[in-house]
């Protein structure tokens, strides 16, 4: 086993050892864009808004962790789970939503945070469920948007317009692999 100082995340998955075909967004490019997003979001709210940042698990967990530290306002953080992909690459359209029952949406200013918008099935469903709970405001921040669809309630903040390839890293997985990568790449 290597000493911790010599260990590097590497650019392959944990289990299969499959390499990335190419790096699409470097760790530096992601960090710069997340810092900008944090400022852009903060420009739209005040401290009195008591923002609730709601991350969609699991894909957004790293993005949320970086984003909330880049928003120069006091925020609260919680997570929802919406699963539609299983171990495959194509959205089944069959979406299940689980949330923390202690989290109240009513009257709150919500920023929903998603890793990537592809078919838009997941986000359309989640936005509808959240809107039904009467938040004071509801906006979407997506790290990546493949721009294959226009959402009825389009993302207010988008990190990058993504290529049509299957992307992994920085929270995004293929069959639960690759989430740990600090960059985003295509497999
Ligand atoms: P949608 O419902 O087709 O918009 O897909 C949304 C969800 O599918 C995202 O939250 C991701 O978890 C997953 N997904 C879509 N495209 C990709 C991709 O290129 N890489 C990894 N996950 C993806
Ligand atoms: Mg996801």
- State residue 5's pLDDT score: 46
Residues of the chain falling short of pLDDT 50? 4-7, 15, 92
Q: Where are the domains of the chain?
A: 23-90+118-186
d(CA 41, CA 141): 9
Report yes or no: 8 and 180 within 8 Å, Cβ to Cβ: no
Closest C-alpha to ligand 1, atom 3 = 119
Looking at the CA of residue 114, tell me the nearest atom of ligand 1. 10
Report yes or no: 160 and 52 within 8 Å, Cβ to Cβ: no
85, 117, 163, 185, best to mutate for ligand 1 pocket (most atoms within 8 Å of CB): 85
- State residue 103's pLDDT score: 81
| Residue from 4, 66, 3, 80 nearest 37 by CA | 66
Q: Specify the CATH number of the domain 23-90+118-186.
A: 3.40.50.2020
- State residue 139's pLDDT score: 98
pTM: 0.89
Q: Is the CB of 83 under 6 A from ligand 1?
A: no
């Amino acid at each position: 086993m290597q000493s911790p100082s010599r260990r590097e995340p590497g650019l392959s998955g944990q289990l299969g050892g499959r390499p990335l075909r190419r790096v699409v967004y470097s760790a530096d490019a992601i960090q710069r864009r997340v810092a900008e997003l944090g400022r852009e979001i903060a420009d739209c709210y005040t401290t009195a808004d008591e923002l609730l940042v709601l991350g969609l698990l699991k894909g957004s967990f790293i993005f949320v962790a970086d984003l909330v530290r880049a928003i120069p306002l006091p925020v609260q953080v919680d997570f929802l789970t919406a699963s539609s992909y299983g171990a495959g690459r194509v959205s089944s359209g069959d979406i299940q939503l689980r949330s923390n029952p202690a989290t109240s949406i009513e009257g709150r200013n919500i920023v929903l945070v998603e890793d990537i918008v592809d078919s838009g099935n997941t986000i359309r469903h989640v936005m509808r469920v959240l809107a039904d709970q009467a938040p004071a405001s509801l906006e979407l921040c997506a790290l990546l948007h493949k721009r294959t669809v226009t959402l009825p309630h389009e993302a207010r903040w988008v990190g990058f317009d993504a290529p049509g390839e299957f992307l992994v890293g920085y929270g995004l997985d293929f069959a639960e692999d690759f989430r740990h990568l600090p960059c985003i790449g295509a497999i």
